[in-house]
């Protein structure tokens, strides 16, 4: 009776190994990232953007153990239309980015030209130095805006 148990066990293991060797299924690694909110604070010609995002559970674990360096390409894609920017920090589910020369001086105003965003942002909030606030839902670009020098 003992030999029968070993034979059954061996047959099951052999079947699993043969099936695993013949079926080559690999699940595609996919990083799900959703940009919930982006706040842009203008200061002269530069701006500071604070981006809040959500990632999937497995991506969260990966970031926790190995760092957020691999999220940089997604932030680069989000800001692809900006000429100059620098990612200053990525912590948890937020990132801070310096937008360099995001606006240009024109007389007594700074003009910020529209920039396309690489992903849809749930809520885009623009803060001007003079206290004016603009808010947009499901934004795919930053708006043309101006503010005082």
pLDDT at 143: 94
What is the pLDDT at residue 111?
Answer: 93
Helix, strand counts (H, E) of the chain: 3, 9
The average pLDDT across 2-15 equals: 79
pLDDT, tens digit (0-9, with 9 covering 90-100), for 63-88: 777 777 778 889 999 999 999 999 99
* Euclidean distance between CA atoms 138 and 121, whole angstroms: 5
Pair type for strands 109-112 and 104-106: antiparallel
CA angle 55, 59, 62 (to 5 degrees): 140
Single pTM value for the model = 0.76
């Amino acid at each position: 009776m003992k030999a029968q148990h070993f034979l059954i066990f061996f047959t099951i293991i052999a079947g699993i190994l043969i099936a695993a060797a013949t079926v080559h299924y690999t699940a595609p690694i996919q990083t799900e990232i959703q940009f919930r909110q982006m706040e842009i604070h203008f200061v002269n010609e530069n701006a500071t953007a604070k981006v809040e995002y959500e990632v999937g559970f497995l991506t969260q674990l990966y970031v926790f153990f190995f760092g957020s360096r691999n999220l940089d390409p997604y932030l680069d894609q989000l800001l692809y239309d900006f000429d100059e920017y620098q990612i200053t920090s990525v912590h948890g589910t937020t990132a801070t980015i310096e937008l360099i020369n995001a606006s240009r001086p024109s007389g007594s105003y700074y003009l910020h030209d529209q920039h396309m965003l690489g992903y849809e942002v749930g809520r885009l909030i623009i803060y001007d130095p003079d206290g004016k606030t603009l808010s947009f839902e499901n934004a795919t670009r930053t708006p043309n805006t101006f503010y005082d020098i």
